[in-house]
Amino acid sequence: MAHTFQTDDVRLAPIAAKVQAGERLTEEDALALYASPDVLAIGWMANFVREKRHGNKTFFNVNRHINPTNVCVAACRLCAFGRKKDSAGAYTMALEEAWQAAASGYTEAVTEFHIVGGLHPDLPFEYFLDLIAGLKQRFPQVHLKAFTMVEVAFLAKRAKLSIRQTLEKLKLAGVDSLPGGGAEIFADRVRSIICDHKIDGAEWLETARTAHQLGLRSNATMLYGHIENDEDRVDHLLKLRALQDETGGFQTFIPLAFHPDNTPLRHLSKTTGMLDIKNIAIGRLVLDNFSHIKAYWQMLTPKIAQIALRFGADDLDGTVIEEKIYHDAGATTPQGLRRSELERLIREAGREPLERDTMYHPVIRNETSFTVSV
């Protein structure tokens, strides 16, 4: 560590002592971090933890997003992606189309398909089981990270199955792990405004708990920069930390910057760089039982994500071919980055790029194929 810790903020010195001693931060500590404007001091602490865990290593993967449908019965105010069945722009891929989309237009072999979509009122559960089984059959070497806790709960309801039975069937069809979306902010007050049609925070956590019990790892997200306050963010982090203590099933925490364009909340301002960096750093400090903190470049922009690698983040996500959800909400980032571009961002931040698979095993490549070291 080249720099020594410095701050004029008296609230931060005792927190820095705890961080250096490896002690768990309290709710009050987390609130003090959010209240402090000293982003360099907060970043110093987060970087201390990040380097202690991972040194200079920075992870990324080569992945493709597949969004099988944007038709959705929910009408979350945070969303620019979902459409009613008969609205302009609504689409649902036929199975063959989804399998073709998985295979098309990219020369580097992907190691992961990230599959999420809307809550379609008519598609039967079998469509999703067939989608997954067909992908597994065609791309047996590719990890299938599919369906948020919200989608799982919706599919369970449609199929009249329990969450556990639904997850068991998805796992049997070929789902390897779950993404972390749909968590938004757990606080009921906020959820009732931004996504009142979704499962509540307790149901999201219970679905994640069941997935972890079945051996399915998942990620966890937090959507910030809308109507939530510091207490809501801290409450969200502490609930994730408590579940992780219990199951150990979360891999990565991903703070997601809210993009208001084309949503009913379009009157809200976009997040600032300061808020983006603080959420990465505070996530790293509070979630002491999470291995990885991801700076998701699609939402943060590659520039902010790169800086985040010095403020607690150790993962940049992946090449993300054909991202739709945040681009419908006005994201101006490219829809995909080449592997070489991700490596450049990481190297320029003074870090060491390490291609991983979804489970963080190193990936070793030649021109057209890859092997995973386990």
- Which residues contact ligand SF4 by CB under 6 A? 72, 74-76, 79, 81-82, 118-119, 150, 195, 198
Residue closer to ligand SF4 (CB basis): 113 or 326: 326
Q: Which residues pair with 60 in a beta bridge?
A: 355
Angle 168-170-172 (CA atoms, 0-180°, nearest 5)?
70
Q: Strand 363-365 relative to strand 370-372: parallel, antiparallel, unpaired?
A: antiparallel
Give CA–CA dist 190/135, Å, rounded: 37
Residue 198 CB, shortest distance to ligand SF4, in Å, is 6
Expressed in angstroms, the distance from the first to the final Cα of the chain is 30
Q: Closer CB to ligand SF4, residue 119 or residue 346? A: 119
Which is closer to ligand SF4, CB of 118 or CB of 174? Answer: 118
Least Cβ distance, residue 251 to ligand SF4 (angstroms): 22
Q: How far is the CB of 166 from ligand SF4 (least distance, A)?
A: 17
Q: How far apart are CA 93 and CA 153, in angstroms?
A: 21
Q: Which is nearer to ligand SF4, 262 or 289 (CB)?
A: 262
The Cα 219–Cα 204 span in angstroms is 12
Nearer to ligand SF4, 45 or 187 (CB): 187
Q: Which of 11-24 are b and which e, b meaning 16 or more Cβ less than 10 Å from the residue's Cβ?
A: bbeebbeebeeeee
Q: How far is the CB of 150 from ligand SF4 (least distance, A)?
A: 6
CB 78 within 8 A of CB 126: no
Tell me how far, at minimum, the Cβ of 97 lies from ligand SF4, in Å.
Answer: 19
- Phi first, then psi, for residue 101 (nearest 5°) are -60, -35
**Cβ 261 to ligand SF4, closest distance in Å?**
14
Least distance between ligand SF4 and beta carbon 156 (Å): 15
Shortest spacing between CB 346 and ligand SF4, in angstroms: 30
Which H/E stretch holds residue 188? Answer: helix 188-194
Closer to ligand SF4 by CB, 81 or 125: give it: 81
Residue with tokens 């990936």: 363
Q: Specify whether the CB–CB gap between 189 and 246 falls below 8 A.
A: no
Q: Which is nearer to ligand SF4, 158 or 292 (CB)?
A: 158
Closer residue to ligand SF4, CB minimum distance, 317 or 328: 328
Strand positions, DSSP E, 81-142: 112-115
Contact, 139 vs 102, CB < 8 A? yes
Beta strand pairing status for 250-257 and 143-146? unpaired
Chain-centroid distance of CA 138 in Å reads: 26
Q: Report, in Å, the least distance between residue 7 CB and ligand SF4.
A: 38
Q: What are phi and psi of 254, to 5 degrees?
A: -130, 100
Q: Which is nearer to ligand SF4, 84 or 347 (CB)?
A: 84
